[in-house]
Structure 1
Amino acid sequence: MSLIITGLREVVTALESSPALLRTGIRKAVTVTARAVRDDARSRIAGHRYLPRYPASITYDVKTTPTGVQAEIGPDKGRPQGALGNLIEYGSSHNAPLPHLGPALDAAEPDAENSVSVALREALLP
């Protein structure tokens, strides 16, 4: 049994010839996904009686590195109630967990995959 792949050289050449376009598209995809996760997590935890300021502490940062684009999403410990993030998400021996970040990230996965696919397509077919 053998496998013959055609067109792969063209794909690699197209990606190598447009790294800036690809990087811009991937950064946009990551930013849109990070914002969606932040907003979803905020809505999942909003309205909790003892955490009125916690939802506003959930933020995101997007950074472009030499190896790719990354996003950090979660509570900012410098904001009111932001330091409670781990306790709220995972709970403690005295408090039940209130998962909101994990489920928001899971819910965003299909859209993130689609956004990356669109960025790749746009880089290949400008």
Structure 2
Amino acid sequence: MAVRVDVSELRTLSTAMARIPDKVQRGVRPVVSKGALNIKQELQMDLASSQSFRGITFSVNYDVKVTAGGVEAEIGPDKDKYGGALANVAIFGTSRGGGTVPDPSIALMAEADRFETALGDLFKGLL
């Protein structure tokens, strides 16, 4: 399952971020982590509301990585956890059914404004 998001404006932001103090750069990780948590919780609610797939709710997790290039989060079902491998069926379905859980990109888009606001608050007056 792949979710694509236009991040062209984030490149400009990352260039500007390279010029801000380390203290503020460290502030980005909690913002990304909170956004990832919000998306994870929405995905879990979507699964929990499904009659057929509520059992895989706790397979959804997220990881946050800090690299030289920035901070990133990976959010979604962990296929190594109970039921995690069923997420594709839950979201996209098969010829025998499924596809009853909303696409995760909806949760991503729902978080976008909050994420942008949180970053804006962090960088207010610095860029």
The TM-score normalised by the length of structure 2 is: 0.76
Counterpart position of 2:114: 111
Q: C-alpha separation between the residues in 2 aligned to 1:51 and 1:67? A: 36
Highest Rg: 1 or 2? 1
SS at match of 1:61: strand
Unaligned runs of 5+ in 1: 1-11
**How many residues in Structure 1 have an aligned counterpart in Structure 2?**
111
Instruction: Give yes or no for contact 1:59–1:73 (8 Å, CA) kept in 2.
Output: yes
- Cα deviation, 1:65-124, whole Å, max 9, x if unaligned, reads 1101000000011111001122212222222422252221111111011111112127x2
Gapped regions of structure 2 (runs ≥ 5): 1-15
The equivalent of 2:35 in structure 1 is 33
- Cα root mean square deviation, aligned: 2.2
User: Distance in 2 between the 1:17 and 1:26 partners?
Assistant: 11
Give the whole-Å Cα distance in 1 for the aligned partners of 2:64 and 2:81. Answer: 19
Percentage of pairs with the same residue? 30
- Bigger RCO (CA 8 Å, 6+ sep): 1
Q: TM-score, normalised by structure 1?
A: 0.77
Alignment-mate amino acid for residue 104 of structure 1: A
Structure 1 pair 87–118 and aligned structure 2 pair: CA distance change class (3 A): same
| Structure 1 segments of 4+ aligned residues over 3 angstroms from their partners | none
Counterpart-to-counterpart distance in 2, 1:27 and 1:17: 14
